[in-house]
Structure 1
Amino acid sequence: MLQYMVRIWDYYLREHPNATRLPAVIPLVVHHDRRRWTGPTQLRDLVQLDPDTAEAAREFLPEFRFLLDDLARIDEQALRRRPLTPPVRVTLLLLKIAAGNPRLAEDLQPWVEELREVLARPGGLDEFTPMLRYIEVVGEAPAEQVHKLISQLGPQAEEAYMTTAEMLRAEGEARGEARGRAEGEARGRAAMLVELLTPKFGPIPPDVSHAFYTASPEQLREWAARALTAETLDQVLDPS
């Protein structure tokens, strides 16, 4: 968190080289793991000093702590009582309950009115669409249940859901095709490497062949370059 803040200030100073003061940055961590936060929230607790020395050096140690919003420690009713805008409240709810949740559509049912409030705001559809994407990407509820939930919000929400689902399917297919091409190219490079080395060193042992076919493209290129001058198969795999 401290690194993030320093980067913000570095960027600010590059953009404002004559500045003599820094803008205020209030650090806030929103923790949305299922387990409660157990780590420190101030830098001093990470410095390796015995308690007496730490106390004696207190004024010389950097004073830095961040605000922590541990969603694992609050229930949904407490979240409802927070003075937040509907998009922020629903976003925090999704961070709390969505990931890996097969009952997400059912758990969101009591929040239908809040979802409607998001849509009713000026520009609400632009705020609602990323929520749909998050639900689809991290949740594990059956698609028909999510569709049924969203359809309660009206045709605009249902159209956004169908568009989002179609885009995610297209992205998944594109990633699959790209991965397939990359895997095919890697297998081709591995086969060429086996063909190159077999006349020089004889039949390639099964474990070495397996290493070729499971290696990254970068590793295959490195081995191929060594194959030109290597005198043994071991020198191809490990020149040291």
Structure 2
Amino acid sequence: MSNPSTPHDAVFRRILGTPSNAASQVRAVLPPGLVARLDLDKLALVPGSLVDATLRWRHTDLLFTAPLDGREAFVYVLIEHQSGNDPVMAFRMLRYVVRIWDRYLADHPRASRLPAVIPLVVHHNDRAWTAPVEVADLVDLDVELIEAWREYLPRFRFLLDDLVGVDARALRERPLTASVRLTLLLLKIAPGNPWLVKELGPWADELRAVLDGPDGREEFAALLRYIELVGEAEIRDQLHDLITALGSDAEEAYMTIAEQLRAEGRVEGRVEGRVEGRAEGRVEGRVEGRAEGRVETLVQQLTLKFGPLPETLLTTVRNASADQLRTWTVRVLTADTLDQLFG
């Protein structure tokens, strides 16, 4: 598996890459009749990515295998995280499904039939999905001709989980693991949100449930890392207070993530603290931002997304204020062009 290129990729792969978590998402969004015939208790992750290298800043994917009516089948989950819809996503998903079949035939050269592949796209942003979800709708024909010729056009449609239309109540009602529920919530509300901690307050029970889970500390740390990377610097004191209220183990995980990010240059600063007792312990700390780490991170993200940067643009980034760097670092995750990013 290639290294994730954005915070979205990292948290998605860490949480949804665990089969039990992925199974909960599949149960929540696939048609009940199909779920009943999939043995999701045997869902297993297949290593590797099918996403084109040039598109990995926009999409990340996970491929699973599971028995379907006793036969081998695949569940292909892709997350879409750009500001606008991918207008040819249906075609891209068809290509990825064909790649799965190509790989299957290479491994089973005597096969005469192909395994079922269930394609699911998870979309998160502030704009609802409007692009076609069926390949036939991409064909450049008048509506009447498409309907007349639909029998002869490729029949391929992907399932869409558009988080834009999923509110907090609906998310609460989904049969998800706490880790997946919070991942989807954070993908929706965390980037650049100055009121994030206030909105996370009612979800404190879910945060605690993540920490108490089988891989609790690692998954809790992945969620905290995501918040630190895409959230506003101003929320850190409030976030620290929220995490402290969950217990000393939660606070310890928070301070560990802050230290790791500082060491990586993602969050530059100094953390001062001490823990006083298990029940009454409190870590007093603060992260003092420095521009150097943000410049390095932003340049890396820009180059990965847009290719080599002109020297004038590099100069602009290096001379920017801390507020500008914070804004651009969040905006680069969803901007489609440099003009959109810096405009």
TM-score by length of 1: 0.69
Number of the residue aligned with 2:195: 103
Cα 1:23–1:150, aligned 2, differ >3 Å: closer, same or farther?
A: farther
Q: How does 1:45-194 map to 2 (within 5 A)?
A: 45-140=137-232, 141-172=234-265, 176=293
- Matched residue, 1:42: 134
Segments of structure 1 that go 5 or more residues without pairing to the other structure are: 183-210, 217-240
Change (3 A) 1:26 1:177: closer
1:192 aligned partner:
none
Aligned to 2:114, the other structure's residue is in SS state coil
Q: How far did 1:122 drift?
A: 1.3
> Could you say which structure has the higher helix fraction?
1
The higher radius of gyration belongs to 1
Match of 1:3 in 2: 95
Q: Deviation per CA, 1:144-177, whole angstroms, max 9, x where unpaired?
A: 1111111122222212211112222222269859
The Cα shift of 1:58 comes to 0.9
**Which region of structure 1 is more displaced relative to structure 2, 19-28 or 37-46?**
19-28
SS at 1:137 equivalent: helix
Distance in 1, matches of 2:227 and 2:141, equals: 44
Q: Closer, same or farther in 2 for the Cα pair 1:215/1:126, shift >3 Å?
A: closer
**Which one-letter code corresponds to 1:143 in the other structure?**
R
Match in the other structure for 1:220: none
Higher relative contact order by CA 8 Å / sep ≥ 6: 1 or 2?
2
CA distance in 1, matches of 2:255, 2:105: 44
Q: 1:172 to 1:63 in 2, by over 3 A?
A: same
Say whether 1:13 aligns with 2:99: no
CA distance in 2, matches of 1:168, 1:80: 30
Q: SS where residue 142 of structure 1 aligns?
A: helix
Look up the equivalent residue of 2:217 and give its one-letter code: L
Residue aligned with 2:198, SS: helix
- Give 1:15 shift: 3.3
Residue of structure 1 in register with 2:114 after alignment: 22
Taking the aligned partners of 2:181 and 2:117, their CA distance within structure 1 comes to 22
TM-score by length of 2: 0.49
Structure 2 SS opposite 1:35: coil
In angstroms, what is the RMSD of aligned CA positions? Answer: 2.8
Report the AA paired with residue 181 of structure 2.
Answer: R
1:81 and 1:165, CA in 2 relative to 1: closer, same or farther beyond 3 A?
same
Aligned residues: 186
Q: Which amino acid aligns with 1:135?
A: I
- Distance (Å, rounded) in 1 between the aligned partners of 2:250 and 2:212: 11
Per-residue deviation, 1:12: 2.9
Percentage of matched positions with identical amino acids: 61
Gaps of 5+ in 2: 1-92, 269-291, 300-309, 315-343
Q: Secondary structure at the match of 1:57?
A: helix
Matched letter for residue 23 of structure 1: P
